[in-house]
Structure 1
């Protein structure tokens, strides 16, 4: 079946979201010791909300009936998608390496594939599983840098367990977006994101205040302000809008496969911004990931459960 314009836009959105979140992971590691995790999460969403509010204030009022109808579902989505995931990721980055975060993230497609079957009745066909397997192989090539001995040297710690919880949190957010699509569809994407932010920021506030009470502060340096600005504009506004749209069009299981592109984009960003060299294993791993992504996101690769 030929790919529609809507699917092309959704796939382009997945690429944009993954690119933005690859930068977010780099920022999270870069500001360790500079900005406490809940502080970064709180101010990220505050700035994003201030940027978005002028554009969504009127739509929020116009669609207040649909927002009331969605009710508690919006609060759940805000708790896990706005307050939960990024706070957990920033907390994990305090005590684990970027390569471990990437490795733990490989659990996301598997969690989402299984969750799509159990919660949505959307069981991926063999082609999608093959796509996930090929992409996972490409990811292992990147992580191992072409040497399988490197995998045996990896060590895991508390930060990795926190990241695993973050991955489960994001998988649930994606699945619930799909499951509650009929309740959320009347709400425009910008208004939906604005409402989730309005609900999510107060949920982060107690943890931010706790950090302040423990003496955790950050300096208003240009680099710290740039980190908050990046996470607010790119990792929050642009990435969330693109991801939410992709979930509506492609489904949670297909969208989750784009997670394998994060190490590819991280390597490209390192090449462009830091002057790091791209090795043969980068090209091999990236090629396998792209092939797996294309294989797993074909329109025929997902069927609804019957009976």
Structure 2
């Protein structure tokens, strides 16, 4: 009696769009390097200035990339007399997406200077909960029990991953950093919902072009008000912010937005829980850091939760949008 259900689950797992899954994995890999570049940057400039440089460099990159990709389309549209109109609602959503990214990044970078990386990562990785909650409250989305169960199992795995570091925290001293990490989870949790909405009409590069521009314009006055040094003064500092913009923003967030063409925002957010696994493996490969047996157990818990979510019907959108790139 269970055979048809098992077959349908297997078929659902195999039907995941390969290009979107590959983009999502590449996105999480790039995002897993972000804390490293943020830490290096904050040795020289503050968290607000770090976010400012991340966004303005990425904005220039996305504008150049958008111009390069749109040349053939512009010629074709001119010949056919086609003109794409951006409505006020579209503009509002693009600005809102930029606000969410900028505020989320500010809170996250600030939390890394006021609490441990372990604590900040655990709280920041609660993003899927806020994506699911926002999808239910704002957009009326319904979630399969299997997906919700997989989400909480995967989050439990992330908490197990950092359980040893939790016992060494000075809670009273780091409450403000923990709260900032929680706010970053809220902002980044709502961001995929807005990006998924925009993805119906726009390609990923267009969305990131406008959101990155809005982000750096919003962060600039914050950095000036905080009286932070705006730009790095060394080669290492510039390497850090350029790498953060290219790897973290253009590839990390850009590929994340791209995959929302076929994958649901809730599933994409849940997939972000793989970032701690990638960060641990990167630490092992680059810095020869030991991976304890407890860490491997947490890896298995995260992957099991991911499997439950992947094999749910909520992973893939019911309707695929025909938007290029």
TM-score category by the smaller chain?
0.7 to 0.9
Tell me how far apart the structure 2 counterparts of residues 99 and 38 of structure 1 sit (CA, whole Å).
Answer: 21
- Work out whether 1:279 is the aligned partner of 2:289: no
Deviation at 1:296, TM superposition (A): 0.7
Partner in structure 1 of residue 6 of structure 2: none
TM-score (norm 1): 0.86
Deviation at 1:299, TM superposition (A): 4.4
Tell me how far apart the structure 2 counterparts of residues 152 and 205 of structure 1 sit (CA, whole Å).
Answer: 37
Confirm or deny: 8 A CA contact 1:131 1:295 kept in the other structure: yes
Tell me how far apart the structure 2 counterparts of residues 215 and 191 of structure 1 sit (CA, whole Å).
Answer: 30
Structure with greater helix share of residues: 1
Task: Name the Cα RMSD after superposition.
Answer: 2.6
Quick check: which has more Rg, 1 or 2? 2
Q: Given the superposition, is the C-alpha separation of residues 207 and 282 from structure 1 closer, same or farther in structure 2, using an over 3 Å criterion?
A: same
Tell me how far apart the structure 2 counterparts of residues 303 and 140 of structure 1 sit (CA, whole Å).
Answer: 27
Return 5+ residue gaps in structure 2 as ranges. Answer: 1-10, 75-81, 318-325
Partner in structure 1 of residue 77 of structure 2: none
Partner in structure 2 of residue 39 of structure 1: 49
2:242 aligned residue (229, 244, 250): 229
Deviation at 1:140, TM superposition (A): 2.5
Partner in structure 2 of residue 126 of structure 1: 145
Confirm or deny: 8 A CA contact 2:203 2:258 kept in the other structure: no
Partner in structure 2 of residue 264 of structure 1: 277
Return 5+ residue gaps in structure 1 as ranges. Answer: none
Deviation at 1:3, TM superposition (A): 4.5
Confirm or deny: 8 A CA contact 1:122 1:303 kept in the other structure: no
Confirm or deny: 8 A CA contact 1:175 1:252 kept in the other structure: yes
Tell me how far apart the structure 1 counterparts of residues 126 and 119 of structure 2 sit (CA, whole Å).
Answer: 12
Tell me how far apart the structure 2 counterparts of residues 5 and 231 of structure 1 sit (CA, whole Å).
Answer: 33
Partner in structure 2 of residue 204 of structure 1: 219
Confirm or deny: 8 A CA contact 2:20 2:259 kept in the other structure: yes
Partner in structure 2 of residue 14 of structure 1: 24
Partner in structure 1 of residue 111 of structure 2: 92
Partner in structure 2 of residue 191 of structure 1: 206
Partner in structure 2 of residue 246 of structure 1: 259
Q: Given the superposition, is the C-alpha separation of residues 113 and 187 from structure 1 closer, same or farther in structure 2, using an over 3 Å criterion?
A: closer
Q: Secondary structure at the match of 2:260?
A: helix
